[in-house]
Structure 1
Amino acid sequence: MDLSSSPTTLTAPQSSTLAVGPTRLTERFGALPPRRKAMLAGGVAAMLALIVASVLWSSRPEYRVLFSNLSDKDGGAIVAQLSKMNVPYRFSEGGGAVLVPADQVHDVRLKLAQAGLPKGSAVGFELMDGARFGTTQFQERLNFQRGLEGELVRSITALSAVEAARVHLAIPNQNGFFRDQQKPSASVLLTLYPGQTLDRAQIAGIVHLVSASVPEMSPRAVSVLDQTGALLSEAQDGSGVTNMLDATQVQHVSRVEQAYVKRILDILEPVIGRDNLRAQVSADIDFSQTESTTEEFRPNQGGQPAAVRSSQTSENIGGAGSGQMVGGVPGAASNQPVAGASAPVNGTAQTMQPMGGAAGAVTSSGRRDAVTNFEVDKTVRVVRAATGTVKRLAVAVVVNHRAGTDKKGQPTSQPLSQEELDKLTALVQESVGFVKERGDTVKVVNAPFRPVEVDTSELPLWKQPQLLEMVRTLAVPLALVALGLAVVFGVIRPVLRDMRKAEELEREKNRLDAVVDDVEELPALTDAGTGGAAGTTPALAAPEELSPSDRRLNEVRDLTRKNPAAVARILRGWVNGTEAE
């Protein structure tokens, strides 16, 4: 009988046999060894712990600085107020800063400001708010001075480089009965942050801030020191004139020097190249202020040498009616009366003349005074010397050797000739306005430049600040992820793999059972072995020593060799999901 034509009903193994339900999982978990059970339970517990830690870490609020650089008194008051407000807080920077959740920073600051916190170590003009009745004038003046010092401290500590400051004001008591009043003075002690410094402009700003806050205080009366005791304000001599340049003068000197350097570079770079030249200029600037006055007197010039400025004339004329003119030698003799006649000793008569004038003349007198003032040719010349004039220039220029190649094509360098150096020196002198009389010097040196070595050694990746910050930020989540992967691949996956192997073995066994069952139902199998009579095929008999599964495998192999068409039809039915007939 042909097996291919025998009507046979075969049933393919249903997929329900592959389904794994809760009961099946429980059975398989119970079938695991105790060590596998412990590993699986530990892995599940670790995964749950990781999930809980991730949730807690992601929900943790971000903290930001509420206040920093607080004194112990203000820090304690702020912490007590935060505890009353039920606001979580932390400390950082060695307890000098208070941190609160980022979403509550501004709200908490406003509430603390309403409560008057932080008060700060410096007390300002709010000290005057607590003035009581009966306060003496001395106490009021002292409180005002303390408040002014506190306000100046707050203003100075607002600078980014200043950590703390103290201000001492010496304000004398003004009295209207004294002609010479004492002038106020001030001292400022600064505590700078590590690595921070103040330039001249900032120091001058602090000096003017203090001097402008106190009436009648001169900037020269303000002294500024740092925490090391170094005097930061400009030193002054006995005349009150500063011996050092202020910030504006220093900037002016720097601008003048840079302008001269730019002139040198502009004229030499086209000749020798930008990378083959270095120049520096040192300018001696005179900032002294001088003023001179000159008066010159010269004779009058022109057609009228005498220019009358003013003229005054006075005249006095008088006379006597005796008919005689008063004359003679002035003095007592002319005022004596005429003497009588007398005989001479020798008997000769002499004629007597009246003294003081001729007889019979009319006596008269007069006086006339004239004063004339003339203009004088005078020239008054006032000269004020300009400040910031250049007293002396010192110019230094370094020129690189001339680059070239030898016969083999190798790069070489050759020094410039003396003639070329002289030409470059002349160009530099003309560009800076060289004046030999005032002591200017220009030096041009030819020297080989050292090749620029590019530092290829970069900072290692693990030392870069950006990477360190990123690692600090992602350390916790990355650790959680790594721990989760270790649990999954080290504990859970091996256990699941063992369970999957057991499931595959069970599934294979079920398939073999189905094949054997289907084969045993074939009627052709019996006919092929007995020739139409019922019986058992001797070829399918298995030795007693084989296991049942091995015996069935041998039966299937024998069937496949003897009737491959029937086995192919069975397999085709399984693949198509239909029953083979």
Structure 2
Amino acid sequence: SQLESRSIPYKIGSRGNSILVPSGQVHSTRIYLAGKGLPSNSDKVGLEIFDRPSFGLSNMQQRVNHTRAIQGELAKTIARMDGVEAADVMVVMPENTLFIDEQSQASASVFLKTSGPAKLGEEQVRAIQHFVANAVEGLGTEDVTVTNSRGELLSQEQDRDADAFLSDQQLESLRNLEAYLSRKAEEMLTIVLGPGNAIVRVSAEINRDTVTTSDITYDEDPVQRSSTQTTDRTQTPNPSLLSTNATATASSATITTVDSTTMDNEFAVGSTTADTIQVAGGIKKVTAAVFVAKKEKKDSAGTVTYIPREPVELESIKQAVSLALGIENTATNLTVEQFEFHRQEKVDYLNEFQKYNKYKTWISIGKQVGYLCLTLAVLYGFVRTFRKTPIETIPLGVPLDDLGDFAEAGNGNRSSGAQKRSNFSIFEPGPPDERIELMNQLIRDNPQNMTHAIESWLQEDNGKSN
């Protein structure tokens, strides 16, 4: 309809997905349609779906329209991000139930078509996840899946239990640690084995339990705090003395006295108590997997033969990686394996990426040159507008020798002086009244030309005087 309103001839392409216009009108038509917001994704219906009357729609249809509106708005917004050419969003909204236990979790899937072979960064993918999750009620970032047109999963699987204990900053720190350790070992092996001959992946296990540990340390040398001495005296009668010596007194012969002394010493032992609290989120264990490429040997025909590496070399690589990452060299913590690397896909992808970078570079150069040309054009127009334009002599439209002819159309009393006036010009001496009348007549007949003529005469007089 926009093309028909401007009378632009067009026809539909053979596949039905393009519109053809004359080559001379391509650029102007694109600019016009871009100003109208066209072409737009007609299948992306946003909140404008509610602009149409919705009388008679059921609750199910209303929910479907609401979901379509959210999907369309999200897709249109994501498509405006740098590096994204097109986007599709699918949102699954659970139905409301009376029981909370039966309530299902909302989920969403985002399909992206990126510009060129470059992939979106991890931060961009996470931004898309958070953007979609915050736009849909009851949707978490872990329930948003992001894939691209090549069938690659861009979003990372997140552990719900880990999210319950760790914040986003802690999870980001963990991923940064894994990436740093992987890059550290990979760069070391690249120097030794060559580029593209080693792949290192590190996984860190998070401590999800909060543990409190108490350590008590006792001093070896005790300190005496007090000393107590206790004496006990016991007196008992002696029956044998009483039977032999009846006259003995009771005080000397019949009583036996026994004394006992007890010494009590109290010592104090010094102790130190240390309480250690290990919160959730700490690094509990680090494991690593290392893949190295087998040696390659090419013959004269270009055939590649893969030669396995010696076990001693693999053990040396394992020991070096263990020391570089600071982990124990055990089978459960570190493994090193050798494989035949498939490099063709990597080379094709690298060539495609280089072509894309070259294309982007030329586009950037073209934009800069275009901006420079536009700036020069504006400056040139500015100078042309404000520079002094040379004054050209504009003819009066009436020859000076025939100036007297104007009197033929005048009154009859002026016809007698026509011949006299035709023999002089306004620059020649003559009667003052006739010169003034001649000037007035010229101004009335052609005021614009007369104004330019007077300016020209004044400039000529100034030039002669100088």
TM-score normalised by length of structure 2: 0.40
- TM-score w.r.t. the length of structure 1 is 0.34
Q: Which has the larger radius of gyration?
A: 1
- Using CA pairs below 8 Å that are at least 6 residues apart, which structure has the higher relative contact order? 1
